Structure 1
Amino acid sequence: MAADGPLEVTADFVVDPEELRWRFSRASGPGGQGVNTTDSRVELAWTPAGSASLARLPVALQERLTARLAGQLVQGAVVVVASEHRAQLRNRAAARDRLVVRLRQALAPPPPRRRGTRPTRGSVERRLQGKRVRAGVKAGRRRGRDAGWS
């Protein structure tokens, strides 16, 4: 995936490159002599509020996306960070990939509702038998009044 250009989330949802905010800083960790001089850490931010790309989606998908991302927003923006590579270009690609994954998860339809079922007769009998065995073990530990214990 290219490090610049439109961000293709789905066939219907493409984020314009003008809506993406990039920020670069020095990353910690391995990097040799260039670690103190190269801004390889990447922060990619996208603000859904007022996004022209988001406005092109149907209203139901807009609401789903904003509702699911509500808890992940940092000052109104979705922010992803990448600093695992030594090269800024690779970190930019990694940040774009992470943002795409996060937006696809937010746009995904909800899973089908689970239909509750009753436990089988055999599972109920096994559970009750286990309870009887456990009760018997605990009953054997009790101190009897006639055993001279107080």
Structure 2
Amino acid sequence: MIRVTPRILLDESEITEDFLRASGPGGQNVNKLETAVQLRFAAIASPRLPDAVKARLAALAGRRMTKDGVLVITAQRHRTRERNREDALERLLALIREAAAPPPPPRKATTPTAGSRKRRLESKTRRGATKRLRASRPEEE
């Protein structure tokens, strides 16, 4: 079991890993070894995630979430398979933690103060006066 938050635990069997060849620099090593990791987690089908977390996770994941509700994270930053596995798992857990965080409280609507309204109108008046001075006037005949 992988602890994500105090209330959310993930079963390791829900996460699958595929290894593929990493792109980018690396010399001959990059053509021989499969060091990149593609981590798959069926988030929508997971019984351990609450529905609210699933919805926020789908919104946060964006294009990383497939139509079937599978979250796909590819890690190829490091040269070794183990470091890429750790990186992919950490990125998955960070995404789930962010989705599990409570939403921010709703914003309270406030009205501008009288002083701020007055300052705004005065600055608009000054700006209009500056523009009026720049305006070209037709020459009188």
Instruction: Give the alignment's TM-score, normalised by structure 2.
Output: 0.86
Does the aligned pair in 2 maintain the 1:69–1:78 contact within 8 Å?
no
> Does 2:10 match 1:15?
yes
Pairs within 5 Å for 1:61-100: 62-71=50-59, 72=61, 73-74=65-66, 75-100=68-93
How much does 1:23 deviate? 1.1
Deviation, 1:91, is: 0.4
**TM-score, length-scaled by structure 1:** 0.82
Stretches of structure 1 that go unaligned for 5 or more consecutive residues are: 1-5, 55-61
Flag structure 2 segments of 5+ consecutive residues without an equivalent: none
User: Which letter maps to 1:70?
Assistant: A
Q: Would you identify which runs of 4 or more consecutive aligned residues in structure 1 move more than 6 Å? A: none
Kept after mapping to 1: 8 A contact 2:45/2:69? no
**In the TM superposition, what is the alpha-carbon distance from 1:43 to its structure 2 partner?**
1.0
Other-structure match for 1:59:
none
- Which deviates more, 34-43 or 70-79? 70-79
Q: Distance in 2 between matches of 1:53 and 1:122?
A: 53
Tell me the SS of whatever aligns to 1:42.
Answer: strand
RMSD: 1.7
Aligned to 1:99, the other structure's residue is in SS state: helix
